Amino acid sequence: ETGVTQTPRHLVMGMTNKKSLKCEQHLGHNAMYWYKQSAKKPLELMFVYSLEERVENNSVPSRFSPECPNSSHLFLHLHTLQPEDSALYLCASSHMGGNTEAFFGQGTRLTVV
Amino acid sequence: DAKTTQPPSMDCAEGRAANLPCNHSTISGNEYVYWYRQIHSQGPQYIIHGLKNNETNEMASLIITEDRKSSTLILPHATLRDTAVYYCIVRVIIQGAQKLVFGQGTRLTINP
């Protein structure tokens, strides 16, 4: 248990569905992140939020829409996904900069059918 | 972003020290080296980090060369539960947030 909670843990959705992934932390962190990990590939950084402001968007398609309503919560809204979007989606959080580490959630295993 | 190079796989006997190397020859003076590990499809777990001095915690030791172009993660007494993919990362700060760019890592297998 890292203090970063992701829900749901597993999700199956059709290509025409709209769903949201949720990430929550009560560690007092003020930076949050979304990563994607496809099968047998390294983690890819998708989005970075610092003080609830998006500071990095790594060429992620618009069918993925992040939202950070406050420093404790991060969402990833999904719509019209493709089967190749099936992956493990990981959320992380950290304090700003300095001599600290990021904590990862256990991820949401997404399958697009 | 500074790139890291790690061997794709390593084996180690249970109870022995596991030494995982990493090259980061383009690291800048204020960039930290971080190590994480990922046990089959779980979220990555933080292990240790350092800037220029050697570091030790309850999980591992980190040895950074004087020129900072390479480092070695040491698991002093490896157990079967240490089997995982180990990632060496040069951390970048963007507007205060931590940008961790993961490579392929080293798949460490601990053998009984």
Both tokens of residue A73? 């919560």
Count Cβ–Cβ pairs < 8 Å, chain A vs chain B. Answer: 73
Judged on CB neighbours under 10 Å (0-12, 13-18, 19+), B23 is middle
Nearest to B32 by CA among B10, B47, B14, B12: B47
Backbone φ/ψ region at B105: left (φ over 0), alpha (ψ -120 to 50), beta: left
Q: Nearest Cβ partner of B34 from A49, A53, A101?
A: A101
What counts of helices (H) and strands (E) characterise chain A? 0, 11
Q: Which amino acid is at A35?
A: Y
B19-33 pLDDT, tens digit each: 999 999 999 888 999
pLDDT in tens, chain A (113 residues): 679 999 999 999 999 999 999 999 989 999 999 999 999 888 999 999 999 899 888 889 999 999 999 999 999 999 999 999 999 999 999 998 778 899 999 999 999 99
Q: pLDDT digits over B37-64, tens only? A: 999 889 999 999 999 989 999 999 999 9
**Residues B109, B79: contact at Cβ < 8 Å?**
no
Which residue in chain B has the smallest CA separation from A40? B104
